[in-house]
Structure 1
Amino acid sequence: MTVTVGHDSQKTRKTLSAGGQTVSYYSIPAAEAAGLGEFSKLPASLKVVLENMLRFEDGKTVKVDDIKAFSDWAKLGGKNPIEIAYRPARVLMQDFTGVPAVVDLAAMRDGIAGLGGDVQKINPLNPVDLVIDHSVMIDEFGSPRAFQANVEREYERNIERYVFLKWGQKAFNNFRVVPPGTGICHQVNLEYLAQTVWTDTDQNGDVVAYPDTLVGTDSHTTMVNGLAVLGWGVGGIEAEAAMLGQPVSMLIPEVVGFKLTGKMMEGTTATDLVLKVVQMLRKHGVVNKFVEFYGEGLDHLPLADRATIANMAPEYGATCGFFPIDGETLRYLRNTGREESRIALVEAYAKANGMWRGADYSPVYTSTLELDMGEIVPAISGPKRPQDYTPLNLAARSFYKTVAEYRGMDVSLAANEMADQGGGVIAPPKDARKTAAVEGKDYTIRDGSVVIAAITSCTNTSNPYVMIGAGLVARKARALGLKAKPWVKTSLAPGSQVVGEYLNAAGLQEDLDAVGFNLVGYGCTTCIGNSGPLGDPAISKAINDNDLVATAVLSGNRNFEGRISPDVRANYLASPPLVVAYALAGDVNIDLTKDPIATGKDGKPVYLKDIWPTNQEVAELVEATVTRKAFQEKYADVFKGDEKWQAVETTDSQTYDWPASSTYIQNPPYFRGMSKTPGVISDIKGARILAILGDMITTDHISPAGSFKPTTPAGQYLTERQVAARDFNSYGARRGNHEVMMRGTFANIRIKNEMLDGVEGGYTKGPDGQQTSIFDASMAHQAAGTPLVIFGGVEYGAGSSRDWAAKGTALLGVKAVVAESFERIHRSNLVGMGVIPFEFTEGMTRKSLNLTGNETVEITGLAGDLKPLSLVPCTITYADGTKKTISIKCRIDTAIEIEYVENGGVLHYVLRNLAAS
């Protein structure tokens, strides 16, 4: 591929020889020598962005003053929020978010043809890799045939989507598809796609080296930050714009330095460390900021552990969680099969451009935190947020509080009024927990019974230390005669085939099989909601008939309400070894640090210490089995796929022939009847409220990814089209069909609309004031020509970089979302779909306004010369006719975003520009 670079008016382009090649690069020291400022004290993460400015400096999109602003950033103590145009090197997608992105590109080809343009102008200008990793569901588990059975069902369910993706691979330039069964996109990125330093030829035929950067349509794109690759998650809308050559508009971010000291103690894992980091950074407040890790502790932190911490940047709220290049970076590149010439270039480039973490690395940060890794203890997080950090010895007690609160019981009794009820739990005299019989079984389950134990998700399955650790726990448990409890649905879903290779090489897969953790697939499963039905319908019935608070323990990064399984209310994040331990125990009511887990075959109690491996045992097996050869062999032909993928047939057409009968892929309405000229931003008048939502409303609440029932609007739509309930698949898999997705917007089973009293699920008041589904209410309001608004609390739109959370909002006729604060990606996505985000000011909230949903809303000050971040008036008219006017901040943050909204969204903006060029 040919990379386009700027004019280089400041002559910062130099040459560098390394690994048997000479390359050109854009030199930060040369920028200093040219008098552009002092850059040596910038954090490495920000130097990556600065290099991007040097390379694309053209006097128009990137000016010399943009470069100088980075020097001012350091002088001003790590703050200088100047708008810049940033161009990542590539784009990464997974299929849940990638399918709708490719649908949009296909629709844009139709749209540009309608405007009289050339369909070939709709092509990625930057390399795009899409990894099919989110479609495998756990229908079969706990048996040797689980993997094959799940793969077969995956192809049965998703063949329409796979035909479409194969068409996209043929029709679009710079677009590659990694077939199903390869692994999770972030792990494939870390182990194979990422290069740390990227190279391309420029328009003059010279090889140019520059930092590997990307945006991804999944929030956990940040995992590759552990390899010193700057990347973060964006919505599919923003990713599509980046693919088509549109720069990412951003403000120069603040950078929070997180100093790590000491080293991990015996018995602790990277998961324990990252859960503590999440808690600390959430408390510190890092939304819209970079986080960079530094300090002597990095000398003792393997790259797999760094990737675990970087992965969960969305959970601590940061744009990224970056680790600079050092010797460990080079070691990992070598061990995972990268070319020696590339490794030599990475070292030479990092040292030449001031991006190497040496002993004297001490940049300027906006603010700092510090953590001694020697203080880390085993922990889990839950029951519904990743930042709900709980030391393992307090986990049972914490769960009891969760149950008591759910049952409406008083948990504030003084210590002398409480009795030890056994199992390590201090409980009031009246136990809040309920027990239920399971029909046809010889066991009972209760509040706290673990019904799902899943080794899943990119966070941990990329890390051989915790995966080997889980295998060793299984080996020791097997030797003592232990198995997972019969009510636990167990699963092992590695993030890449390399993991399967080293587990087999170590002989640990046999041990995992023996205790119930058979391979179920290579991909994102339980963490995304693809957990499938519980092990037995009788278990699900017992839970729902008795309103039990059943639990899931997973080695994932997300545990939001309603995400993991509709049968599970409490979800806990834990390391893979602890997932195995909890499966053996079958209950979160016990204190794993001191209570017996189970009884061994000799009749004696077995404790966690009896089956927990030493750090040395783990390290020795990792050294012996995680080899360069394994990575080279498994990634030798990564795009080929198995026989099933090779058998998928598609057309060679440059535009997509949208099958009318498809319930997976439909032509979206965004570009139909689009004019050649943009519109204007208008005031919002006579709007009604569609929903009033609380704090920490996630994109899972707004646009769930998991399963749905025939009684839902989406289920009714599919049933009307003769789709059987067993073939509904999931919302995530249906994202190529806007008809399903708009019906699924705000349809999370745990969402609570404060317009209704205590009702869970996607309901609201219709125009007649009666309770109805949010979809039906929206359709009625839109038919009457009534605009809609939503009110929310703090951290609105937290979680996944889910563009359908914004697309669905727009298609439901919502013109504005007013909240106390927004998470970064969702705010950007709303703007990208032409929905305006607003924030309350002066301490005002939805509660202080006493909103009931019967009000009408008017937001003025938008028409005319609207400026980014303007304060505008919002007038609430109550049911009794009284009015209240407040000031709200328009969260259209940059000048280019004003243009996006004027055009109806970022894709409309890009399409009009391409059609006119």
Structure 2
Amino acid sequence: MSSINSLQTLSSLQVGGRTYQYHSLPKAGELLGEINRLPVSLKVLLENLLRHEDGDTVTREDIQAMADWMINRHSDREIQYRPARVLMQDFTGVPAVVDLAAMRDAVARAGGDPQRINPLSPVDLVIDHSVMVDHFGDAAAFQGNVAMEIQRNGERYAFLRWGQKAFNNFRVVPPGTGICHQVNLEYLAQSVWAAEVDGQSWAYPDTLVGTDSHTTMVNGLGVLGWGVGGIEAEAAMLGQPVSMLIPEVVGFKLTGKLREGMTATDLVLTVTQMLRKHGVVGKFVEFYGDGLADLPLADRATIANMAPEYGATCGFFPIDEITLGYLRLTGRPAEVVERVEAYSKAQGMWREPGHEPVFTDTLHLDMNEVEPSLAGPRRPQDRVRLSDVPKAFDELLALQTSAVRDVERLEDEGGGGTAVGGPSAEVCVTIDGEEHVLKNGAVVIAAITSCTNTSNPSVMMAAGLLARKAIERGIQRKPWVKSSLAPGSKVVTDYLERAGLTPYLDQLGFNLVGYGCTTCIGNSGPLPEPISHAISEHDLVVSAVLSGNRNFEGRVHQQVKANWLASPPLVVAYALAGDSRLDLQEEPLGLDRDNKPVYLRDLWPSNAEIAEAVALVEDSMFRSRYADVFTGDEHWQSIAVSGGDTYNWDGQSTYVQNPPYFERIDQPIEPLQPIHQARVLAVFGDSITTDHISPAGNIKSSSPAGEYLQRLGVKPEDFNSYGSRRGNHEVMMRGTFANIRIRNRMLGGEEGGLTIHTPSSERMSIYDAAMRYQQEGTPLVVLAGKEYGTGSSRDWAAKGTNLLGVKAVIAESFERIHRSNLVGMGVLPLQFVNGQNAPTLQLDGHEVLDIPGIDDNLRPGQILKIKATRSNGQQIEFEVVCRIDTSNEVDYFKAGGILHYVLRELLAEGK
């Protein structure tokens, strides 16, 4: 800890029998000016700067800029932020550990000590993204899925066990424990952190970055954290500060209470829609107002979880009595709770009734106005009233039908495509020996899954209560619905059993399938063969309903084109209805044993019933489940661990391979060069997500990645998922831009990871084209529209882009994390200006592009001029802004990426 004598902010705090050192914000305010009404989230950043002031990475001017924010309510100042810890999940964590292992190899090759590569901050990796829903609907589903998970992922898990042994400050929560964000909320987070430094106890805000977008969930506990790419997280754990501009902070005032029958999901979808409409990309959102006094911590966490969906960096809730109550409920030690209360009150971080901080801008919601809602069918911010779901589906179906006509036109012109069933397509299918009719709009997946809602006892109990009422009335889920229950922690199982609700969920097919992300990440598993066959043969447009936070195209299941985010009780209701074209507020879900119609209103539990069930949740459940959280079951403990300081790479492994990033790390840095005679790899439209760029779900056998695995002897049934193979760059670079729903405008918007190689005009996969361009020595660019890279904080969306030879991405706008990831992998993000884009400039992807001005004098935000030469020889010029946003990022980009920069610094220090 740096001594800040110049600001005289050092102070001490007595909590119980312990004395904590800390940097006092009230003392800082006496020297800097009034900061009491600074948003609490910015007070956390201010404290971070006070604690790390060193005159170099953090200066007095940086600290003053935080106080001056009150004047203009925004700032252009770049600061260096150091989070207390790092959180990972296995999809993003495995490639991060692969990078660390590769860095150790590079240090060893350069004659250094590989032990220099070690996390300097505490790192927790929770294995939660690998379990798939292969088995469902019976009592053996959980054991069956666990067995398949271990069988599929043995290589990955052995690698992580090596990492747990080889690296300091690195803990692994074994599979089958829960989702990383729920484990973080219920166990890892402390709200106010404590550490021993040079024999003294220090207290400071709990802060983190995580390699998952929904790290923000812990903001509900007063913890400042957000998602970053694995690349940036690796740099943070190796001692590099997070470079950022002091953010704008939008205040969101909550008043009133939710009406009878409304859920936290209805609230969060309303908040998400409002904030996305307002525009909060790159900003903090801080919730305030007297409505927080009655908003449970689980509801706050649900809202904070969805920050990536409303576009904010974080969605922060200050600490108050609700926070302390949750810490006690989840079994935190009494001394932690006392420290949280004493510290937050001493620092002015405690939420006081009526207190209104100064914000850049504000919004207001009276929670009494919230209506029953879902989101979909393609984006989480597209809230739909429950009664309007049939209309929203029919609009999607009309779009699909229109798209078919376009494809058929392309076929007439020599293109390719497939026909789609008409709006009222119906197919007879045989399920368990009985004939059923499958139609457009059929709900084929109903999944209670994801961190968003399974952290919330009120909506989970509501689902169980609705299931009980359904069984009591004698109605069942429809046979074509694949139903599943994947809680975020084992505590959910405990309280559902305590409430006596598990048997009813089981009878409706919502048997436990695993403790992990499952359907929300695309691990929904295969549909039953008759259903899958009918959808494929007749190109039906069917629906999934899940209690998740992401419903992008091709994410939940490749055969499901309409995906709806809903509360857990609505997931159960749609399983009973089996049809997303039903108006659940007016039409019956089915007939009871007396042949009488049963409506949703007949089954929906009252708030009093839900409250009575939630009251059964006890702290002993949390204490018991987290007592040995790092131990794992017999499967985990039986995995053999090999290797020492460096990893013994297996050249035959199809899961873990040594990546090529650091092969030339011992060579001098080459100066930046202009991009000359580049070709366009693909032209994309708006809202290209990281799922489009680097899918996490199934690997098609006919895709470049599938063909590669089959050449190595891997059978299609053993492909696993892209997400599980992120430790193998050979698979992942072949999977880049391979999502079956991505549309390249060079092919008229046809779906699939295809492109046109120029100037040969040959049609091929994007991977094959990229490899040919590399053989020809041709640099590549990608053209895109608005919100490029939205969605998950997926570093492979940048890594794969880099390995394909893409030197620059030119888009109308970028999602925050993906822009940072591109810079972190040495790919230049460039943004169109003056309202221009590829269509207005008539860029069709057949141009040759020259981008001068890229040299060692490159500056953040620099304007560059691009010359495009069309296939007919015509030339145009247009301007773009360089979206390297900070001076630190310029240094990273010059070094070839952030990890290259860190590794070169470590090698230089060791000489």
TM-based fold match above 0.5:
yes
- The Cα shift of 1:434 comes to 1.4
- CA 1:409/1:124 → structure 2, altered by over 3 Å: closer, same or farther? closer
Matching residue of 2:568: 576
Matching residue of 1:466: 459
Q: In structure 1, which of residues 553, 556, 561 is the aligned counterpart of residue 548 of structure 2?
A: 556
Structure 1 stretches lacking a partner, 5+ long: 411-429
Moved more, 110-119 or 376-385: 110-119
- The Cα shift of 1:521 comes to 0.2
Matching residue of 1:425: none
The answer to whether structure 1 residue 100 and structure 2 residue 95 are counterparts is: yes
Q: Which amino acid aligns with 2:908?
A: A
Q: In structure 2, which of residues 124, 139, 157 is the aligned counterpart of residue 162 of structure 1?
A: 157
2-side partners of 1:584 and 1:827: how far apart?
42
Counterpart secondary structure, 1:155: helix
- The Cα shift of 1:836 comes to 0.5
Q: Is contact 2:462-2:610 (8 Å) kept?
A: yes
Q: Is contact 2:289-2:354 (8 Å) kept?
A: no
Moved more, 905-914 or 476-485: 476-485
The answer to whether structure 1 residue 16 and structure 2 residue 17 are counterparts is: no
Q: Which amino acid aligns with 1:236?
A: G
- CA 1:409/1:698 → structure 2, altered by over 3 Å: closer, same or farther? closer
Counterpart secondary structure, 1:862: coil
1-side partners of 2:279 and 2:137: how far apart?
42
Counterpart secondary structure, 1:407: helix
Matching residue of 1:110: 105
Alpha-carbon RMSD:
1.3
1-side partners of 2:5 and 2:516: how far apart?
43
Alignment of structure 1 residues 334-733 onto 2, 5 Å: 334-408=328-402, 432-439=423-430, 441-534=434-527, 536-624=528-616, 626-733=617-724
Q: Is contact 1:552-1:570 (8 Å) kept?
A: yes
Counterpart secondary structure, 2:32: coil
- The Cα shift of 1:680 comes to 2.2
- The Cα shift of 1:850 comes to 1.2
- The Cα shift of 1:409 comes to 9.8
Q: Is contact 1:677-1:912 (8 Å) kept?
A: no
Counterpart secondary structure, 1:191: helix
Q: Is contact 2:378-2:553 (8 Å) kept?
A: yes
Matching residue of 2:752: 761
1-side partners of 2:708 and 2:402: how far apart?
37
Q: Which amino acid aligns with 1:500?
A: T
Matching residue of 1:42: 38
The answer to whether structure 1 residue 796 and structure 2 residue 792 are counterparts is: no
Q: Which amino acid aligns with 2:180?
A: C
Counterpart secondary structure, 1:438: strand
1-side partners of 2:857 and 2:388: how far apart?
56
Matching residue of 1:70: 66
- The Cα shift of 1:396 comes to 1.1
- CA 1:348/1:780 → structure 2, altered by over 3 Å: closer, same or farther? same
Alignment of structure 1 residues 92-241 onto 2, 5 Å: 92-202=87-197, 204-241=198-235
Q: Is contact 1:337-1:628 (8 Å) kept?
A: yes
Q: In structure 1, which of residues 27, 33, 36 is the aligned counterpart of residue 24 of structure 2?
A: 27
2-side partners of 1:832 and 1:820: how far apart?
20
2-side partners of 1:741 and 1:652: how far apart?
25
1-side partners of 2:5 and 2:728: how far apart?
45
CA-to-partner distance for each residue in 1:812-831, whole Å, 9 max, x for gaps?
Answer: 00000000000000000000
1-side partners of 2:2 and 2:180: how far apart?
28
- The Cα shift of 1:844 comes to 0.9
- The Cα shift of 1:676 comes to 4.7
- The Cα shift of 1:405 comes to 2.3
Q: Is contact 1:9-1:57 (8 Å) kept?
A: no
- The Cα shift of 1:459 comes to 0.2
Matching residue of 2:828: 836
Counterpart secondary structure, 2:751: coil
- The Cα shift of 1:360 comes to 3.5
Counterpart secondary structure, 2:585: coil
Matching residue of 1:58: 54
Counterpart secondary structure, 1:755: helix
Matching residue of 2:417: none
Matching residue of 1:418: none
Residue identity over aligned pairs, in percent, reads 62
- The Cα shift of 1:239 comes to 0.2
2-side partners of 1:442 and 1:888: how far apart?
59
Q: Is contact 2:377-2:392 (8 Å) kept?
A: no
2-side partners of 1:758 and 1:71: how far apart?
49
- The Cα shift of 1:8 comes to 4.7
**Count of equivalent residues:** 891
Q: Which amino acid aligns with 2:843?
A: L
- The Cα shift of 1:431 comes to 8.2
Counterpart secondary structure, 1:443: strand
2-side partners of 1:871 and 1:491: how far apart?
51
- The Cα shift of 1:652 comes to 4.5
Q: Which amino acid aligns with 2:179?
A: I
CA-to-partner distance for each residue in 1:220-263, whole Å, 9 max, x for gaps?
Answer: 00000000000000000000000000000000000000001110
Q: In structure 2, which of residues 294, 303, 313 is the aligned counterpart of residue 300 of structure 1?
A: 294
CA-to-partner distance for each residue in 1:108-148, whole Å, 9 max, x for gaps?
Answer: 00111222221111000000000000000000000000000
Matching residue of 1:868: 860
Q: Is contact 2:4-2:50 (8 Å) kept?
A: no
Q: Which amino acid aligns with 1:83?
A: E
CA-to-partner distance for each residue in 1:400-420, whole Å, 9 max, x for gaps?
Answer: 12112221299xxxxxxxxxx
2-side partners of 1:786 and 1:667: how far apart?
26
- CA 1:753/1:409 → structure 2, altered by over 3 Å: closer, same or farther? closer
Q: In structure 2, which of residues 283, 287, 294 is the aligned counterpart of residue 289 of structure 1?
A: 283
Moved more, 36-45 or 866-875: 36-45
- The Cα shift of 1:911 comes to 0.1
Q: Which amino acid aligns with 1:257?
A: G
2-side partners of 1:682 and 1:371: how far apart?
51
Moved more, 342-351 or 662-671: 342-351
- The Cα shift of 1:441 comes to 4.2
Q: In structure 2, which of residues 238, 241, 254 is the aligned counterpart of residue 247 of structure 1?
A: 241
Q: Is contact 1:819-1:838 (8 Å) kept?
A: yes
Structure 2 stretches lacking a partner, 5+ long: 405-420
Q: Which amino acid aligns with 1:692?
A: V
- The Cα shift of 1:338 comes to 0.4
Matching residue of 2:809: 817
Counterpart secondary structure, 2:563: strand
Q: Is contact 1:125-1:244 (8 Å) kept?
A: yes
2-side partners of 1:606 and 1:475: how far apart?
14
CA-to-partner distance for each residue in 1:506-557, whole Å, 9 max, x for gaps?
Answer: 11111100111000000000000000001x2111111111111010000000
2-side partners of 1:628 and 1:526: how far apart?
29
Q: Which amino acid aligns with 1:492?
A: L
Q: Which amino acid aligns with 1:722?
A: G
**Structure 1 segments of 4+ aligned residues over 3 angstroms from their partners:** 4-9
Q: Which amino acid aligns with 1:218?
A: D
